[in-house]
Amino acid sequence: MKTSLTGIKPTNNPHLGNYLGAIRPALALARSYRTLYFIADYHALTTVRDPALLRQYTRDVTAAWIASGLDPAQTLLYRQSDVREVFELAWVLSCLLATGQLERGHAYKAALDRGEAPSAGVFNYPVLMAADILLYDAHVVPVGEDQRQHIELTRDVAKRLNHLYGEGTLVVPEALVDDAPLVPGTDGEKMSKSRGNALPLFAPASELRKAVMRIATSSEPLEAPKEPEGSVVYRLYRQVAPARADEMATKLRAGGYGWGHAKQDLFEALEAELGPKRERYQAIRADEAGLEATLAAGAERARAIAAATMRRVRHAVGID
Ligand code: ADP
Ligand code: TRP
3-state SS string over 235-266? HHHHHHCHHHHHHHHHHHHHCCCCHHHHHHHH
Question: Do residue 166 and residue 105 come from a single domain?
Answer: yes
Is the same domain home to 269 and 158?
no
Return the residue whose CA atom lies nearest to atom 10 of ligand 1. Answer: 18
Residue 262 lies in a domain: yes
Same domain, 98 and 215: no
Q: Quick one: pLDDT at residue 269?
A: 98
**Protein residue with its CA nearest to atom 20 in ligand 1:** 17
Q: How many domains does the chain have?
A: 2
Residue pair 11/84 in contact (Cβ under 8 Å)? The answer is no
Same domain, 308 and 256: no
Amino acid at the residue 160: R
Q: For residues 112-147, b (16+ Cβ closer than 10 Å) or e, as one string?
A: eeeeeebeeebbbbbbbbbbbbbbbbbbbbbbeeeb
- Which residues have any ligand 1 atom within 6 Å of their CB? 9, 11-12, 17-18, 21-22, 144, 182-183, 190-194
Do 24 and 167 lie in a common domain?
A: yes
Q: Are residues 63 and 162 in the same domain?
A: yes
Statement to judge: residues 162 and 80 lie in one domain = yes
The string of pLDDT tens digits covering residues 72-96 is 999 999 999 999 999 999 999 999 9
**Mean pLDDT across the stretch 23-47?**
97
In this prediction the pTM is 0.96
Q: What is the mean pLDDT of the chain?
A: 97
Give the model's pLDDT for residue 22: 95
Distance 169 CA to ligand 2 centre (A): 22
Tell me the C-alpha distance between 89 and 314, whole Å.
Answer: 9
Asked whether residue 196 is domain-assigned, the answer is no
Domain of residue 241: give its range. 202-282
| Statement to judge: residues 295 and 161 lie in one domain | yes
Q: Is residue 143 part of a domain?
A: yes
Which of 147, 149, 174, 178 for a ligand 2 pocket mutation test, highest count of atoms within 8 Å of Cβ? 147
Rounded distance, CA 131 to CA 129, Å? 5
pLDDT digits (tens, 9 = 90+) for 243-277: 999 999 999 999 999 999 999 999 999 999 999 99
Q: At what angle do helices 148-165 and 288-317 cross, to 10 degrees?
A: 40
Whole-number Å distance between alpha carbons of 150 and 129: 7
Probe target for ligand 2 pocket from 12, 37, 41, 43, with the most ligand atoms within 8 Å of CB: 43
CATH label of the domain that carries residue 49: 3.40.50.620
- In this structure, are 308 and 176 located in the same domain? yes
User: What is the reported pLDDT for 180?
Assistant: 82
Confidence (pLDDT) at 52: 98
Protein residue with least CA distance to atom 12, ligand 1: 18
Give me the helices (H) in the chain, please. 16-18, 24-28, 41-44, 51-67, 85-94, 99-103, 106-113, 120-134, 148-165, 205-213, 232-240, 245-254, 259-286, 288-317
Q: What whole-number distance in Å separates Cα of residue 91 and Cα of residue 96?
A: 9
How much distance in Å is there from the Cα of 221 to the middle of ligand 1? 34
- In sequence order, what are the beta bridge partners of 141? 175
> Average pLDDT, stretch 187-200?
95
Q: Is the pLDDT of residue 108 over 90?
A: yes
Percentage of the residues of the chain whose pLDDT score is greater than 70: 100
* pLDDT (tens digit per residue) in 55-67: 999 999 999 999 9
The answer as to whether 193 is a domain residue is no
Is 240 contained in some domain? yes
